[in-house]
Amino acid sequence: MSKKRLGIGFIGGGFITRFHIQSLIGVRDCDVVGVMSRTRASAEESAKLARTTEVGDANAYDTITDMVADPRIDALWICSPNFTRIETFEEISEAVISGKGELIGIACEKPLGRNVAEAKKVLELTQKAGLLDGYLENQVFAPSVTRGKEIIWARGAATTGRPYLARAAEEHSGPHMPWFWEGELQGGGVLNDMMCHSVEEARFMLTEPGKHRESLTPISINAYTACLKWQQPKYANILSENSGGKTDYLNKPSEDFARSLVEYADEDGNKLVVETTTSWCFVGAGLRLSMELFGPEYSMFINTLDSDLKVFFSRNVSGSSGEDLVEKQNAESGVMPVVSSETDVYGYTAENRHMVESFLAGKRPQENFDDGLDVTRLLMAAYMSAEKSKTIQLPNRDIESFIPAVARGKWNPKGSYDEKD
């Protein structure tokens, strides 16, 4: 029987949780009931935000089990750090199977797992508990992406043939939290952190409307990684200071730049190509998301820094640094783009609307853990390609147990690591 309103509990109380909470202002028929975080202060802060924005009378919870057991909570949004993913899902599954609570589903932020084994385990635990699952890939819900796809396929592809090349990039100056920089905690560097967005957005754009993304078969992948900026002593010292000495990019860096080329075949055997670029060493106004799509007689372009609102501040305008204009903002003067509503532009509002509507209807969301697992397989194949300096043919059974050198603390940006380590 379908419900009329969805009670949501967030696991994790940091930046991304607060982003999701803000996006729920534009989503009907849901209430944020609670937030649980390993850091009580973070849970309290995010719960307060939910109350302040009037998206729910949220409280902070001490444990995941307490949250699952609350009958007011129907679904969980997993926004906790990557390195807690398995223990989080194990606790949820155990609580549900033991009869606690009335959960309908789980929505999980990227990545589904730090490697294929973890992603498969997350899917297994969720299915064992009998829960619906949604993979939170916001960029495939961005209005410019969904509207652009609709127009391109209806006008260009319908008359001259399907699109065959997609280019996607996500670039900024680096993550907010220190643990993101740690390969062994995060599961990698910028490739694992951000290429997950680009490969899925590009795959979405190349998939014919009405068909599942499995209608595209990955054939091969070639990738490259490097640490271009953050291993330089000046910048490595900044990371060390920001982490209390824990992050050591002079001796144990993660990649801050990555690119990949993925070759697909569609159901008719047509060759399709995806190019992705991701960077933590981008220098610009702030976060830049870009997408290009090409077909026989048409093209499409998206650049989030090419916004409809721009402001200019002279050198006489002073103020503190912040992110009031654009995410990962790098400047406060000169000509600056303003992203008027980041939760809308980046796809979070539409994403969460889809998840809420799907869970209330008792349906599996269109973007689900199968997609998250597919993305993880592509990322691991990309790491393998970069490490071996060769194209990886797909499918490849070795990626099922593959853990990147950077995730094992063994990566040397000069390429002299020992694959046996």
HEC per residue, the chain: CCCCCEEEEEECCCHHHHHHHHHHHHCCCEEEEEEECCCHHHHHHHHHHHHHCCCCCCEEECCHHHHHHCCCCCEEEECCCHHHHHHHHHHHHHHHHCCCCCCCEEEEECCCCCCHHHHHHHHHHHHHCCCEEEEECHHHHCHHHHHHHHHHHHHHHHHHCCCCEEEEEEECCCCCCHHHHCHHHHCCCHHHHHHHHHHHHHHHHHCCCCCCHHHCEEEEEEEEEECCCCCCHHHHHHHHHHCCCCCCCCCCCCCCEEEEEEEEECCCCCEEEEEEEEECCCCCCCCEEEEEEEECCEEEEEECCCCCEEEEECCCCCCCCCCCCCCCCCCCCEEEEECCCHHHHCCHHHHHHHHHHHHHCCCCCCCCHHHHHHHHHHHHHHHHHHHHCCCEECCCHHHHCCCCHHHHCCCCCCCCCCCCC
Decide if 131 is inside a domain: yes
In the predicted model, is pLDDT for residue 240 greater than 80?
A: yes
Note the pLDDT of residue 420. 47
Rounded to an integer, the average pLDDT of 194-218 is: 96
Number of structural domains in the chain? 2
Decide if 314 is inside a domain: yes
Residues 206 and 172 in one domain: yes
Q: How far apart are the first and last CA of the chain?
A: 53
Residues 157 and 181 in one domain: yes
Note the pLDDT of residue 2. 62
Q: Check: CB of residue 88 under 8 Å from CB of residue 80.
A: yes
Residues 60 and 103 in one domain: yes
In the predicted model, is pLDDT for residue 419 greater than 50?
A: no
The pTM assigned to this predicted structure is 0.93
Collect all residues with Cβ–Cβ distance below 8 Å to 205 and sequence separation of at least 6: 145, 148, 149, 152, 163, 166, 291, 293
Tokens of residue 298, six digits: 């048409």
Residues 205 and 337 in one domain: yes
Note the pLDDT of residue 209. 96
Rounded to an integer, the average pLDDT of 193-197 is: 97
Residues 215 and 83 in one domain: no
Note the pLDDT of residue 359. 98
**Cα 356 from Cα 186, distance rounded (Å):** 28
In the predicted model, is pLDDT for residue 327 greater than 80?
A: no
Residues 152 and 285 in one domain: yes
Tell me the residue range of the domain where 27 lies. Answer: 6-137+349-368
**How would residue 1 be classed by pLDDT, with cut points 50, 70 and 90?**
very low
Residues 29 and 132 in one domain: yes
Decide if 414 is inside a domain: no
**Cα 337 from Cα 288, distance rounded (Å):** 11
Note the pLDDT of residue 414. 64
Q: Tokens 């937030």 map to which residue?
A: 35
**Cα 70 from Cα 61, distance rounded (Å):** 10
The residue ranking higher by pLDDT, 292 or 306, is 292
| CB-count exposure of residue 20 (10 Å: 0-12, 13-18, 19+) | buried
Residues 301 and 354 in one domain: no
Rounded to an integer, the average pLDDT of 352-378 is: 98
- Give the CATH number for residue 362: 3.40.50.720
Decide if 413 is inside a domain: no
- Give the CATH number for residue 238: 3.30.360.10
**How would residue 320 be classed by pLDDT, with cut points 50, 70 and 90?**
confident
Q: What residues are paired with 273 via a beta bridge? A: 165, 263
Decide if 310 is inside a domain: yes
Decide if 47 is inside a domain: yes
Residues 122 and 205 in one domain: no
Question: How far from chain centre, in Å, is Cα 229?
Answer: 23
In the predicted model, is pLDDT for residue 337 greater than 90?
A: no
Note the pLDDT of residue 417. 44
Residues 252 and 356 in one domain: no
Residues 165 and 124 in one domain: no
Decide if 124 is inside a domain: yes
Rounded to an integer, the average pLDDT of 308-337 is: 80
Residues 255 and 297 in one domain: yes
The residue ranking higher by pLDDT, 319 or 110, is 110
Among the listed ranges 25-39, 221-235, 406-420, which one has the minimum average pLDDT value? 406-420
Decide if 415 is inside a domain: no
Note the pLDDT of residue 198. 97
The candidate with the shortest Cα–Cα distance to 210, out of 166, 154, 163, is 154
